[in-house]
Structures are given as structure tokens and as C-alpha cells.
Amino acid sequence: MLLRSPHILSMSDLNREEIESIFQTTDTFREVGGRPIKKVPALRGKTVINLFFENSTRTRTSFEIAGKRLSADVINISKSSSSVSKGESLLDTVKNLMAMSPDILVVRHPAAGAPQAVARVLDKTRIINAGDGAHEHPTQALLDLLTIRDHKKKIEGLHVGIVGDIAHSRVARSNIGGLKTFGAKVTVIGPKSMIPSGIAGLGVGVSYDLAEVIPELDVIMMLRIQSERLGLRPFPSLREYSRAYGLNLPILQRAKPDVVIMHPGPVNRGVEISPEVADGPFSLILDQVKNGVAVRMALLYLLAGEFAESEA
């Protein structure tokens, strides 16, 4: 199926049919990771540039692995290794990279809206938003939706709790969009100081009490406190935060017996989630990471493969 947008900037670019189509393509690529030779020729001769102006372990590595498993030429550029460290602007950097004719740019940037600004200066090159400030992280939401569907066999009708620093979380914003598209009920949970006023306008419930709401949840999505985006700490101490909003074995006893627990990473063990829960039987954290490679293979293929060219 044709994706309406040439770029993946936001979950609002994708309707339910398009997301289903991405998942169908993902399914065809999942088994490549289990082969002795983990490579298919789908993107031979294509160039993917990973342009990361913010640190990343999972997203950058999985985009690199995804591109290489599709036989694309993959180039990684970080802020510290690029001429941005000498004062070059983002748009000048992108225009210079465009002169080398890449097929796809994968961009992570601390400023909300940076990939959208880059998209406006692109000609044929496609762009994938790998996380822009506190705005969106659409590929994370896609892999999260797929992971939920893998384990619950559906998304519609599930009650998903997103817990923690909602205000600074691009993961929360993108997941809310995707989960609502699939008909899930979403409740955001955290201290008042970390829940943006007006978030109910996105069609989500709001709770300030994890212990109260946890028995209703089918999926618990824990979030890290985004210290790098905080000014003053919006809670008295990490210990108090953890006591009220941390997921540990005692509070988990209140949850449904088939609850699943997710976290986009990086995990701060002992703050938002205890090690026993992060590594326990309800945790899907490493399934999320595994699915990230196949989902990103699908996105690279759909944006730059022969399929995309025949639809152009």
C-alpha cells in the first residue's frame, strides 16, 4: 500500500491502514534476523544517512542494522563528529548532505520540529524522524504497537497506562496517537507537574495515582524522567517519585495477571522501574528492541525500495 506522506515525521502522517501495511512489511522482514546470513538485497545501491544530534543506543543502532540487513550503504553522523561542532547549522549540514544524493535521512534532534524543517528543504530524499525533542518518536510508537499486538493479539479495546514524565516524552505523544488510531483506551499517569495541562484534549484519561489505576491496565508503559529536558526538578526527590510512580513487585501485585510491561529505554533501574520488574516475566522491553529492527527495515524499504519507486 502507498504511504500518503513521502516522509515519516509524525504518527499523524499514518492512518490505521498504513500502519497495518507497515506491519505486514515488517512481518516479511522479521525472519531475516534469524538467518545465518542476515541480509537481503532489497536496498542494494541505496544510501541511508543516520544524522543523530542527540545520543542514542537503540534507535541509531537499529536503523544502522536495518539498513545493512537490507544491503543499503549506511553512513552514521553524530553531532560531535560533524562540522555542526564547528558551528555549521542543521539546514546547511542537510543541504551539503543532499549534494551527495542520499535516499533516506534518519534524523534525531533535540529541537522539536527539526525533522519537519529539514523535510522542507529536501527534494527527492525521504526523511524519518528518529525523535525530535519532546515532540514525536514515531518509529518507537510503531514498534511499541507491534509489540503490544504480538503479545495481546489485538490493540483495540486494551487499556494502556503511560506512566511518568509525560510532559517531556516524545514516546508518550507518538504512542497516544498510534494507540488512539487503533481504538485503545489510554490513561496517562504521573505527578501533576509532569502531565501537561490540556492533554485530555488528545482523548486520554489522566490519573495522578498509579496504585489506584493499575488494576485496570492491560499494558503498562513506563517512561524515564527526561532529566536532559527538565529545568527545575518537578518533584521533591527521586526517592519520593519512585515511591509514588515507580513500578516494583509490591505494586505489580495489584495488576491484572496477564499485564505486560513496556519501556522504550534507556531504563533508570530503581527509579521508574525496579530491576525485578524490568527483567521479570511480564516485561517486553527486549521484545520492543528486537521489533525495532524489523519495523525500521520495513520503513526504509517502503520509503526507498523498488516498491516506493514504482509508486512515485
Binding residues vs ligand CP (CB under 6 A)? 56-59, 131, 140, 264-266
CB of 226 to ligand CP, least distance (A): 11
CB of 57 to ligand CP, least distance (A): 4
Based on CB atoms, which residue is closest to ligand CP, 42 or 163? 163
Q: What amino acid occupies position 242?
A: S
Based on CB atoms, which residue is closest to ligand CP, 15 or 57? 57
Judge whether 134 and 170 are in contact, CB under 8 Å: yes
Sign of the Cα pseudo-torsion (32, 300, 150, 290, in order): positive
| Adjacency order of strands within the sheet including 260-262 | 205-207, 185-189, 159-163, 219-222, 260-262
Based on CB atoms, which residue is closest to ligand CP, 125 or 140? 140
CB of 278 to ligand CP, least distance (A): 14
Based on CB atoms, which residue is closest to ligand CP, 55 or 116? 55
Based on CB atoms, which residue is closest to ligand CP, 59 or 291? 59
CB of 200 to ligand CP, least distance (A): 26
Strand partners, 129: 107
CB of 192 to ligand CP, least distance (A): 25
Cell triple for 49: 544517512
CB of 245 to ligand CP, least distance (A): 19
Q: Residue 305: which of 101, 40, 59, 60 has the closest Cα?
A: 40
Judge whether 208 and 234 are in contact, CB under 8 Å: no
Based on CB atoms, which residue is closest to ligand CP, 177 or 264? 264
